[in-house]
Amino acid sequence: MSQRCVEMLLGKILTDENFRRSFFSSRAFPDRVPNFELAASKGLELTPVEKSALSNLRRRRFDLIAQTLDPRISRSSADSSEAKMQLVSDRDGGVS
Tens-place pLDDT, residues 14-72: 999 999 999 998 665 655 678 999 999 999 999 999 999 999 888 899 999 999 999 99
Maximum pairwise Cα distance, the chain: 52
Q: What is the 3-state secondary structure (H, E, C) of the chain?
A: CHHHHHHHHHHHHHHEHHHHHHHCCCCCCCCCCCCHHHHHHCCCCCCHHHHHHHCCCCHHHHHHHHCCCCHHHCECHHHHHHHHHHHHHHHCCCCC
